């Protein structure tokens, strides 16, 4: 009899632990889904490239493009950039007509540098200060 009671108690204990684990998982899930809305490069939707006025991708992007973009209100004010595209590289121009000097980012499928949180110290490919310089950007093959 004693043994049976102990087994029952252990089973109950396991159930309780499982229930607590599930509750923690659910709470974690809620927290995880709430965090991207605050400030992160992941605020750039898949298949897009994005540009922010601030360093480190604060808030929603100030510019988002699926093929190209000519900046207006955020012209010469961009300080962090992301390529969250699926196929192409993206490049960012000092001029407003997609010509002249530019910096580029690879896309996540190809690897390499796909984002830069601080353009004042350049990118992986160049140490040149690119803060507040970008006027247009595009995807390219």
Q: Which is nearer to Ca ion, 116 or 138 (CB)?
A: 116
**Contacts with Ca ion: how many residues (CB under 5 A)?**
3
Tell me how far, at minimum, the Cβ of 79 lies from Ca ion, in Å.
9
Q: Per CB under 5 A, which of residues 39..78 are in contact with Ca ion?
A: none
Contacts of 40 (CB under 8 A, 6+ apart): 57
What are phi and psi for residue 80, nearest 5 degrees? -145, 145
Tell me how far, at minimum, the Cβ of 11 lies from Ca ion, in Å.
57
Q: Which is nearer to Ca ion, 80 or 135 (CB)?
A: 80
Length of the chain: 141
Q: Per CB under 5 A, which of residues 95..124 are in contact with Ca ion?
A: 116, 118, 121
> What value, to the nearest 5°, has the Cα angle with vertex 141 and ends 54 and 134?
25
Distances in whole angstroms, Cα of residue 96 to Cα of each of 25, 55, 70: 48, 21, 6
Q: Which is nearer to Ca ion, 43 or 116 (CB)?
A: 116
């Amino acid at each position: 009899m004693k043994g049976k009671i102990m087994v029952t108690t252990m089973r109950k204990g396991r159930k309780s632990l499982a229930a607590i684990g599930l509750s923690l998982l659910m709470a974690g899930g809620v927290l995880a889904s709430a965090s991207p809305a605050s400030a992160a490069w992941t605020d750039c939707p898949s298949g897009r490239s994005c540009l922010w006025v601030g360093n480190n991708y604060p808030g929603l992007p100030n510019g988002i493009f699926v093929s190209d973009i000519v900046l207006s209100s955020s012209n010469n004010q961009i300080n962090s950039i992301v390529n969250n595209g699926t196929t192409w590289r993206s490049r960012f121009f000092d001029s407003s007509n997609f010509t002249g000097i530019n910096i580029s980012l690879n896309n996540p499928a190809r690897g390499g540098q796909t984002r830069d949180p601080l353009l004042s110290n350049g990118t992986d490919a160049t140490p040149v200060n690119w803060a507040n310089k970008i006027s247009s950007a595009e995807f390219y093959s």
